[in-house]
């Protein structure tokens, strides 16, 4: 990891950390975090594009598409896919489950079990239930829980810099 990149990430998190609770659902900020997660989590080698799948409708899709148009995951292009059903989800590097979705997290975990997939949620309690990262609001600020055992099960390696910023569960 490049030290300058990490310093910029820290500055960004502290800058956004002072955003009010009303802005905690700002999906542009979610996309910024997800871009940083891509940088500070190591996936096993694979071919093809870096795929971020969103299950259900969410305003985050627009922001992820904007990010994907200008950012890369290492040397890979980032592709955003939208799914309405768990059975339709294809192999993904990240699966984002919006809080508005009526999809059961355990179904997604079962579907992605044989993949090296980071599952990101945004509903209280889902980090403990098995998502790798769960966005939460703490003291009026957007934060994230990190479930190390879920990430290890997916064979994803998390940088110590990222774990220092997370709420570990």
Question: What pLDDT, on a 0 to 100 scale, did the predictor assign at position 126?
Answer: 97
> Beta partners for 157?
42
Domain edges within the chain: 3-168
Residue 17, pLDDT above cutoff 90: no
How far is the C-alpha of 35 from the C-alpha of 117, rounded, in Å?
15
In angstroms, rounded to a whole number, what is the distance separating the alpha carbons of residues 16 and 18?
Answer: 5
Q: Label residue 5 by pLDDT band (50, 70, 90).
A: low
Confidence of residue 14 (pLDDT cuts 50, 70, 90): low
Q: What pLDDT was estimated at residue 26?
A: 84
What pLDDT, in 10s, does the model give residues 18-65? 444 344 358 999 999 999 999 999 999 999 999 999 999 999 999 999
* Beta partners for residue 146, in sequence order: 133, 168
Q: If one looks up domain 3-168 in CATH, what number appears?
A: 3.40.50.2300
Is residue 2's pLDDT more than 70? no
């Amino acid at each position: 990891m490049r030290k300058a990149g990490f310093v910029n990430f820290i500055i960004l998190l502290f800058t956004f950390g002072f955003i009010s609770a009303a802005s905690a659902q700002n999906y542009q900020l979610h996309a910024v975090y997800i871009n940083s997660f891509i940088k500070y989590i190591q996936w096993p080698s694979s071919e093809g594009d870096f795929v971020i799948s969103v299950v259900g409708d969410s305003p985050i899709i627009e922001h992820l598409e904007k990010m994907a148009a200008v950012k890369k995951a290492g040397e890979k292009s980032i592709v955003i896919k939208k799914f309405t059903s768990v059975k339709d989800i294809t192999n993904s590097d990240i699966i984002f489950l919006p809080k508005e979705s009526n999809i059961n997290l355990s179904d997604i975990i079962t579907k992605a079990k044989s993949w090296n997939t980071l599952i990101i949620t945004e509903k209280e309690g889902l980090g403990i239930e098995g998502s790798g990262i769960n966005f939460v609001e703490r003291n009026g600020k957007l934060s994230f829980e990190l479930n190390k055992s879920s990430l290890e099960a997916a064979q994803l390696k998390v940088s110590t810099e990222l774990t220092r910023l997370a709420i570990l569960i």
